[in-house]
Amino acid sequence: MSVLLTGATGFLGMEVLTRLLDRDDDREIVAIVRATDSDRARERLDGVLRLLYDAPPASAARRLRAVPGDLCAEGLGLTPDDRRRVGDVTEVVHCAASISFSLPLAEALRVNVEGTRRVVSLARRLPRLRRLVHVSTAYVAGRHAGRFEERQLDVGQGFRNTYERSKHLAEVALRREARDLPLVVARPSIVVGDSTSGWTPAFNVLYWPLRAFHRGLLPRIPATPDGRLDIVPVDYVANALVRMLDDDVTGTLHLVSADRAITNRRLADLASRALDRPRPTLGPSDALERKGGEVYLPYLDVETSFDDRRARAALAPAGISAPAPEGYFDRLMAYAVRARWGRRPQTREQALAAAA
Ligand SMILES: NC(=O)c1ccc[n+]([C@@H]2O[C@H](COP(=O)([O-])OP(=O)(O)OC[C@H]3O[C@@H](n4cnc5c(N)ncnc54)[C@H](OP(=O)(O)O)[C@@H]3O)[C@@H](O)[C@H]2O)c1
């Protein structure tokens, strides 16, 4: 039995990787990594292990295998040998994607739609496949105003950027081409650091305006006070994804804060307290654009709320639930400040030890 993971060098993929390595089983983990050959792919994974651990666990040498590949290459760029070697994969977690909000559409489609279709064709050739987990995003809902349910996909929504559109189209392709596979589509909202330690290797998305605010560069933020900001900590999302490998659940699950999502007004309060800065004013301002953060503007007036009934029913029995942001936001900011917003990072292991 083995698990195939894409995106292990990314924020969410490395959290899935560490959980697969830390669990007590002998399943091989095959990570498809962008690299020219298997030595380079292994070096890249070793780099990831250095972000996660002070010293890599023995399981990494024993069970982790790096396979060079690319979502944009025919057959994922796997050699015939690698293709044969993945023959006994039983579970696939497809985490890799381009998360850039500003890629030209054709490029975003190439990675996020065509890449996903290639993962599906590989999965289809795995004779022992039990589970295919596709990591999507709750923002396939685009600009839909109101409640968005897990079963919904096309509600006539428009999209904020090529990222949302391409992730939406990836799901459309899955509904057409993978309906006979044991597929789970996981739709996280905005993923932030670990709820216990605050650890994150990625200081993008929400962290970008928060860092500018911390530096005193955003005293006024062009956000709608009642705009909804649905964030989830990475430990919740990664625990849920790993759980989906074992569970019998199929279909689409929202990994979101749902009714506990905060508003921009509440975020301003939390950020002001955690970062010890005067509360920012919310209202029209070109400050974000002037600082180069225009890609985040469309997320400052979100009118979507996400329904997560299916996810709660599937995950609650395993004790996995999304904590309320108020309970961990201070820890996110404490780590961000300690790590100087990415300039002085700790390993995941150090951050967890500090939190304990
Ligand atoms: N972060 C969030 O807030 C969030 C929220 C909702 C959903 N998601 C979804 O979660 C998944 C992971 O996101 P993330 O935040 O972990 O992103 P990330 O940190 O940017 O990681 C993306 C991963 O995808 C890999 N990748 C990109 N293009 C590739 C290609 N052509 N071939 C092979 N691998 C490629 C990257 O490899 P390289 O290291 O080689 O670039 C990296 O490992 C994505 O599907 C994303 O849509 C993320």
Greatest CA separation for the chain: 59
Pairing of strands 231-233, 183-188: unpaired
Mean per-residue pLDDT for 201-225? 92
d(CA 25, CA 308): 30
Q: Which atom of ligand 1 is nearest to the CA of 190?
A: 3
Instruction: Enter the tokens of residue 79.
Output: 């050699």
Return the number of other C-beta atoms located less than 10 Å from residue 335's C-beta: 21
Residues with CB under 6 A from ligand 1: 6-7, 9-13, 34, 70-72, 95-99, 111, 115, 135, 137, 167, 188, 190-191, 202, 205
Q: Which atom of ligand 1 is nearest to the CA of 139?
A: 6
For 90, list phi and psi in degrees, rounded to 5. Answer: -105, -25
Residue 134 CA to its chain's centroid (Å): 11
Question: What residue's CA is closest to ligand 1, atom 1?
Answer: 191
Mean per-residue pLDDT for 22-28? 90
Instruction: Enter the tokens of residue 336.
Output: 């961000």
Residue 247 has pLDDT above 80, yes or no: no
Q: Which atom of ligand 1 is nearest to the CA of 202?
A: 19
Taking the complete model, does pTM exceed 0.85, yes or no? yes
d(CA 244, CA 242): 5
277, 120 in Cβ contact below 8 A?
no
Coil/strand/helix, residue 192: strand
From 9, 12, 166, 185, mutation site for ligand 1 pocket: most ligand atoms within 8 A of C-beta: 12
d(CA 169, CA 1): 31
Could you tell me the distance, in angstroms and rounded to a whole number, from the CA of residue 77 to the centre of ligand 1? Answer: 18
Could you tell me the distance, in angstroms and rounded to a whole number, from the CA of residue 264 to the centre of ligand 1? Answer: 26
Question: What residue's CA is closest to ligand 1, atom 24?
Answer: 96
| Per-residue pLDDT reduced to its tens digit, 149-182 | 999 999 999 999 999 999 999 999 999 999 999 9
Share of the chain above pLDDT 90, in %: 90
d(CA 46, CA 296): 32
119, 94 in Cβ contact below 8 A?
yes
d(CA 130, CA 200): 31
Instruction: Enter the tokens of residue 29.
Output: 């983990």
Could you tell me the distance, in angstroms and rounded to a whole number, from the CA of residue 105 to the centre of ligand 1? Answer: 17
Specify the range with the lowest mean pLDDT, choosing from 54-68, 89-103, 209-223, 230-244. 209-223
Which residues lie below 8 Å from residue 292, measured CB to CB, with a gap of 6+?
A: none
d(CA 158, CA 47): 39
d(CA 54, CA 341): 20
239, 320 in Cβ contact below 8 A?
yes
Q: Match 């932030």 to its residue by tokens.
A: 192
From 34, 101, 114, 116, mutation site for ligand 1 pocket: most ligand atoms within 8 A of C-beta: 34
